[in-house]
Structure 1
Amino acid sequence: MGGKGIKGRGLTGIVGRCVYGKKVVVRSRMSEYFLKASGNQAVNVNPPTGLDYHITKQGSSWLWAVTSVFGLLVVVYAILFFIAEMRSNSLTRYSLAAPFLISFFMFFFYFTYASNLGWTGIQAEFGHVKVDNPVTGLTPGVRQIFYSRFVAWFLSWPLVLFLIELSSVSTTVQHSDTLSVLDMIHTLLVQIFSAYFWIIALLVGALIRSTYKWGYFTFGAVSMLIMEAILIRRQFVTLKTRAFNGAMLGFIMVIVWLYFICWGLSEGGNRIQPDSEAVFYGILDLILFAIYPAYLLFIIKAFGDWPAFSWRGGFARRTDEEHLEKPSGQPSVRQSGETAVPQTHANHAAGAPAAATGPALGPTAEHPPSAAGPTTMAEIPAANPIARETA
């Protein structure tokens, strides 16, 4: 056998051998192979078939980064929860449950989103987005709609509202006040079902091809207005949320409207690519479901304390209760110095004297003098001289 031996070229070395007089060159590029094997293969493993507008490898990589953030938060909150269990701090345990579940739900969703799963194809209403190689041949093309996003919102939004309520009542209610449990439950239920309505409205609208999708967009926007109106009254009027906590809540109430703008640019109007949609929604979700719950947890841990609970009453109803506690009897018509209040027939029959707080003004036609007995020397009978002399 002849031929050349091994000629080293690092990891990309060429192995040369001669087999039966023929030279066979086997090229092995180990470094490139491992880099490709360890890269993001989600779009290749789960290809977006039958779609004209879909996420690419770059969009999936961004989604994996968001997934890692929520996954890290799940681990951190789990550790903090076990620490709180050992210290027997019930308020901290309750407050930790909400951000833990929020992070877990969002981690579950973004793992699905980054894996290019949990979607369906809907033909867009407008053809603003252009692609080089359309697949379906439809005009406008078919867009990738991730319905799993709305499922994650459906599970996470009630927990965010609960955390907002818990942070407010634990930091604003004084020890001398009591909190109405019925009032809190009523407010939370209305807020939660309002959030459910706008989430479902956007989901249904995203799955509709025609212009009727904007009707569901309007339903969702009105529901969001109702939810925020109730939230403003509860937090700023009833609970008197102020300072930085109130400013953060106001900022979040502005942020949620960006969800509607993103929906209008992506699922609704087909103005931006699905990769841009993923970045837009990802930033909003990180603010609302990662940063804000962590801030509320810090507020509760640092400044929160259990308020006193009552089933019906509470400091929010103190004014109404004070009004109800006022004496319901008919007020007196007499003032100091006025004539005596007229006696009833029962009092006259019993011979009870009339009560007066001021000087008597003499008999009147309406109230003649009583004939119960003599009032002058002349009126004393002569048959009783002892009584006359005594008088």
Structure 2
Amino acid sequence: MSSLGGSLDQNPPNADRHITEGGSDWLWAVTAIMGLSTLGMVLWQTTRPRGTRFFHNIALIILTTSTIAYFAMASDLGATPVRAEFSRGTTNTRQIWFVRYIQWFINFPLLLILLLFSTGLSVSDILTTAFFSWVVVICGLVGALVPSAYKWGFFVFGLLALFYIWSVLLGHGPRTTFNAGQTTRSGYVRGSGLVAFITLLYPIAWGCSEGGNVISPTGEMIWYGILDLILGPLFLYHFLFGLRNVDYGAFGFHSGKHTDGAYGGPDGGVGAGPNMKTAGGGATGARDVV
């Protein structure tokens, strides 16, 4: 990939306002970082004992999805032209990257699940929060594809969904009982604060790019790319490193396999946690995790 502008030659931009060769170069760099992070997570996951890979598996899915999405965007694929509400001079259409929203549709709820499963929140509360992350992403996509001022209605709906997510991350989550200990609670508080702050910057980026057509698509790629790198490799590796010595039995996880017994079984490499039965009968208040 010595001349990454070749992506634009082979896949010509389909809108008046589109990414430049420099934007493609940046996207290839992010793709490389995501790809290396994915490979590192694969290796890290294989070193974990059976029954302690739940969080690592989620991180692996997130990083793999990001790698594929950024490969598509770096190749100048996965975008569609949409008439801009604000033309900004001679611009009539702008590239809208639907592949990015596919990435977020998969990754955003998984990121929240990874965070919230370290708390004492019920599974129903966690899944409801994950649902509202889909509302955020879908409203962002639909709003980006709407050429009229009605796009801002979808923007407001998405923002209201974000407020709900923030209330769970910063309000309900920290007040639950952290069976895994104070270290896990401290890590969650720091992690949820970071996620809340970074997700605040996404709608600002949307308003300046897909919404208001203020910044160029290349500037959009740089902005979103930095945010995705922070919530992707940087956050995931830091958060998982903080859980390296935590007794997974305290989370109440259970594989659901009789041969695994309670929390990984006798050959799973990990003993039963404080809330787990020692035979294959499951756990009191355990979460079933396949």
Using the size of structure 2 for normalisation, the TM-score is 0.81
Deviations 1:251-300 (A, max 9, x none): 22011011000000000000000000000000000011221111121112
Unaligned runs of 5+ in 1: 1-36, 135-139, 170-182, 314-391
Structure 2 residue aligned with 1:288: 231
Of the three residues 259, 284, 289, the one matched with 1:310 is 284
SS at structure 1 position matched to 2:19:
coil
Q: 1:89 to 1:301 in 2, by over 3 A?
A: farther
Q: Is the 8 A contact 2:143 2:155 kept in 1?
A: yes
Answer yes or no: is 1:108 the counterpart of 2:68.
Answer: yes
Alignment of 1:39-188 (within 5 A): 39-40=3-4, 41-49=6-14, 51-84=15-48, 88-91=49-52, 93-128=53-88, 130=89, 140-168=91-119, 184-188=122-126
| Mapping for residues 16-55 of structure 1, pairs under 5 Å | 38-40=2-4, 41-49=6-14, 51-55=15-19
RMSD: 2.0
2:86 and 2:212 in contact (8 A); partners too: yes
Segments of structure 2 that go 5 or more residues without pairing to the other structure are 179-183, 251-274, 276-282
Q: 1:259 aligns with which of 190, 198, 202?
A: 202
SS at match of 1:270: coil
Report the alpha carbon displacement of residue 188 of structure 1 after superposing the two structures with TM.
Answer: 1.1
Q: What is the alpha-carbon distance in structure 2 between the residues aligned to residue 65 and residue 168 of structure 1?
A: 35
Shift of 1:38: 3.4
1:269-288 residue pairs with structure 2 within 5 A? 269-288=212-231
- Of Structure 1 and Structure 2, the greater helix share is in 2
Whole-Å separation in 1 of the counterparts to 2:2 and 2:31: 17
Change (3 A) 1:216 1:270: same
Any idea what SS the aligned residue of 2:117 has? helix
Contact 2:119 2:174 in 1 (8 A): no
Provide the C-alpha distance between the structure 2 equivalents of 1:239 and 1:233, rounded to a whole number of angstroms. Answer: 13
| 1:311–1:245 Cα change, 3 Å | closer
Q: How many residues align?
A: 250
SS at match of 2:249: coil
Contact 1:163 1:296 (C-alpha < 8 Å) held by counterparts: no
The 1:56–1:312 alpha-carbon spacing in structure 2 relative to 1, beyond 3 Å, is: closer
The whole-number CA distance in structure 1 between the counterparts of 2:43 and 2:102 is 26
Q: Give the TM-score, by structure 1 length.
A: 0.61
Deviations 1:59-95 (A, max 9, x none): 00000000001100111111122222xxx3412x112
Conserved? CA contact 1:105–1:152, under 8 Å: yes
**Separation in 2 of the partners of 1:109 and 1:141?**
26
In structure 2, the partner of 1:224 is: 162
Aligned-residue identity in percent: 34
Partner-residue secondary structure (3-state), 2:140: helix
After the TM superposition, list the runs of 4 or more consecutive aligned residues in structure 1 that deviate by more than 6 angstroms: none
- What is the CA–CA distance in structure 2 between the aligned matches of 1:112 and 1:246, rounded to whole Å? 34
Change (3 A) 1:214 1:310: same
Paired with 1:312 and 1:302, the residues of 2 have a C-alpha distance of 20
Instruction: Give, in angstroms, the shift of residue 166 of structure 1.
Output: 3.3
The letter for the 2-side match of 1:186 is: S
Q: 2-side partners of 1:218 and 1:48: how far apart?
A: 30
Q: Using the alignment, how far apart are the partners of 2:172 and 2:214 within structure 1?
A: 37
Q: Please state whether the residue corresponding to 1:116 is helix, strand or coil.
A: coil
Q: CA deviation at 1:304?
A: 4.4
Indicate the SS of the match to 2:95. strand
